[in-house]
Structure 1
């Protein structure tokens, strides 16, 4: 199941980590929510294969520790989503469709 492209309407912002919005539900370690606005990553389905980190030409992502999560104990966190150039490479390479980039949300950062 892919990230919900309508997460802003379907979820509530419950927190902020390293300046990045977190959309619930969140109940660690299993449920980590969606992180980001312009560049959003569903931490609950991210497998942490690293393709987005390798392919992003502007280094939007950094690894974040998520100990105890059943999919992986690290996640691709959109720490620098304000640098995103909307190339969509991260979306294209994510094997589980855990990333959504929406240029219309860039002004909400």
Structure 2
């Protein structure tokens, strides 16, 4: 199941972590929601293989710890989503379709 491209309408903004907007529902450690807005990562399906982090030409992503999450103990956070150049490489390389980039946001 891929990230919901309409998450801003279907989910509620529940807070912020490290300056990144978090969209619920959130119920740690199993359910962590979607992190980011322009560059959004669905933490609940992210497997943290790091391919987006390794391939991003402008270093949008950083690692954050997510202990005891069923998919992985760390995730990629769009810490510098304001630096995104909308190349869509992260979207293209994500094996589980956990990332959405929306140039209109």
**1:26: Cα distance to partner?**
0.3
Separation of aligned partners in 2, 1:93 and 1:51: 7
Separation of aligned partners in 2, 1:93 and 1:76: 14
RMSD over equivalenced CA pairs, Å = 0.3
**1:14: Cα distance to partner?**
0.2
Name structure 2 gaps, 5 residues minimum.
none
Runs of 4+ in 1 over 2 A off after TM superposition: none
Q: Name the structure 2 match of 1:94.
A: 94
Separation of aligned partners in 1, 2:91 and 2:75: 15
Q: Name the structure 2 match of 1:76.
A: 76
Separation of aligned partners in 2, 1:41 and 1:35: 5
**1:11: Cα distance to partner?**
0.2
Separation of aligned partners in 1, 2:99 and 2:87: 13
Separation of aligned partners in 1, 2:18 and 2:72: 20
Name structure 1 gaps, 5 residues minimum.
none
**1:44: Cα distance to partner?**
0.1
Structure whose residues are more often helix by fraction: 1
TM-score normalised by the chain length of structure 2: 0.99
Q: Name the structure 1 match of 2:60.
A: 60
TM-score normalised by the chain length of structure 1: 0.96
Q: What secondary structure sits across from 1:52 in the alignment?
A: helix
Separation of aligned partners in 1, 2:12 and 2:70: 23
- Superposed CA deviations along residues 18-46 of structure 1, whole A, max 9, x for unmatched, are 11100000000000000000000000000
